[in-house]
Amino acid sequence: MSTDTFTTIVQTAFDAVAKGVNGQASGPMHLQRVAALNAFTKQGIPTTRHEEWKYTNVMPFIGLPFSSERHEGTTDPLTIDDISQSSSGLHEALEGGWTVAIINGRYEQNLSSVPQHVPGLTIEALTDELVATDSAVRTALGSLAPIDLHPFVAVNAALTHQGVVIRLDANITLERTIHIAIVNDVRQQDTLATPRILVLAGARSSVDIVESHHTIGSFTALDISVAECVLRPECAVRYTKIVDAVPNSTLKNISSIAASVEHGSRFTSFAVSLGASFVRNDLLVRLIEPASETYLYGASVLGGSEYADNHTVVDHAVHHCHSEELYKGLYDGSSIGVFNGKIFVRPQAQKTTAYQSNHTILLSDKAQVNAKPQLEIWADDVKCSHGATSGQLNEEAIFYLRSRGIDADKARALMTYAFVAEVLEHMDHDALRLHCEQRIATKLGAEPFAP
């Protein structure tokens, strides 16, 4: 059975990692791996009978002969140029930003462009030694995205090795963008990679992080990533996750991003899914101290047989917090979109304001969307709302544009573009927004028209 194959692959990969942990076999990180492997074995691979995985069918690819070993020497070593080319222009668009390269799940300092001494910023490999010696890292790792969150988080935690820790000291505002380029080198074989990212943002710090996933080569990439972000008081983290692989990329990305937000801090997330055959995003934001807030935005533009699934959870654990969520999807061909948005308002979370909306346009009869808002509110003095729409293009608006001399095809492209561009209007990062607008416009055959 394909699931047995995958279980064996995970076990083999685990054994290979275990062999390399010299001296840290009883260290906290490896103990975590062992626990994670057990958690994975216990949970098994989710099937579509599982409520949270109802539409996320991993069966078509889970039985592939994935390998997590890289065989150096048989293919040319990757260069920064290769990474740039695989990023569909994102790398150039973030010119002036610092690249953190993660190749097949491992942080590669020599392909990264972060200078050695930036005051207040540390970027280093997430090693067993670091976890053993650094209590901040040890405390945070696995606490936001625990191994029982879902089986693939467990797979990531069982195999994690050479992830990356990004640490911002208190009061540091980083002008440059940190671009985490997650590259799957699939020139030789089907590959399983488990990138792991830990962001520790100090009090009153501010940073833009862009996480992108790409492939180089034509074998299948199974990219199971986990990122955890700890936001100390009064800081701002803008975290954008982009999947926009080159045409015909075989990327299968199962991503989990989790954040905990302390007093007065703001976590802003963008999930942009443009090109990849399979994307599953789990985003989990916990507002754990009063006056914290989160803004979650998503834009999926799919065609062909692409699949993008956004599962979001906003957990209002305390009083006086604010959350806003806007996800939009545009589905053509026989693509499938999923949106599942949970908002929890705990009994003590009075004076919560939480808003969610999800809008979809289906451009073809064969495209599908499954949207499910799920608000669970246990406090009484709160303002919460959700709205969801699914429909076709507004024909009245198309007629309006045509009556001004714009032909029907262009009017349609413009309308579809505008529908998604509305999400991007919330992006403060100009270069990133322009890039995303341009990419979406290109995918739709429109010109960017955003205000």
Partner 1 sequence: MTPILQITDLTAGIEEREILKGITLTVNPGEVHAIMGPNGSGKSTLASVLAGRADYTVTGGTVSFMGKDLLDMAPEERAREGMFLAFQYPVEIPGVSTANFLKTSVNELRKHRGQEPLAPAAFLSLMRERMKLVEMDQSFLSRSLNDGFSGGEKKRNEIFQMAMLEPVLAVLDETDSGLDIDALRIVAGGVNALRSSSTATIVITHYQRLLDYIVPDVVHVLWNGRIVRSGGKELALELEKRGYDWIKAESAVEA
* One residue of 407, 426, 428, 445 binding partner 1 per CB under 8 A: 407
* One residue of 397, 431, 438, 442 binding partner 1 per CB under 8 A: 397
Shortest distance, position 102 Cβ to partner 1, whole Å: 33
Q: Nearer to partner 1 by C-beta: 25 or 408?
A: 408
451 touching partner 1, by CB under 8 A: yes
Q: Which of residues 147-206 bind partner 1 (CB under 8 A)?
A: none
* One residue of 408, 426, 428, 445 binding partner 1 per CB under 8 A: 408
367 touching partner 1, by CB under 8 A: no
* One residue of 34, 170, 418, 431 binding partner 1 per CB under 8 A: 418
392 touching partner 1, by CB under 8 A: no
Instruction: Tell me the number of residues near partner 1 by CB under 8 A.
Output: 28
Shortest distance, position 298 Cβ to partner 1, whole Å: 15
270 touching partner 1, by CB under 8 A: no
Measure the CA–CA gap between 436 and 441, rounded to whole angstroms: 8
414 touching partner 1, by CB under 8 A: yes
CB under 8 A: which stretch of 19-27, 121-129, 287-295, 415-423 binds partner 1? Answer: 415-423
CB under 8 A: which stretch of 85-93, 143-151, 277-285, 411-419 binds partner 1? Answer: 411-419
Shortest distance, position 409 Cβ to partner 1, whole Å: 10
425 touching partner 1, by CB under 8 A: yes
Q: Nearer to partner 1 by C-beta: 70 or 439?
A: 439
Q: Nearer to partner 1 by C-beta: 18 or 406?
A: 406
Residues near partner 1 (CB under 8 A) are 394, 396-397, 399-408, 410-411, 414-415, 417-422, 425, 447, 449-451
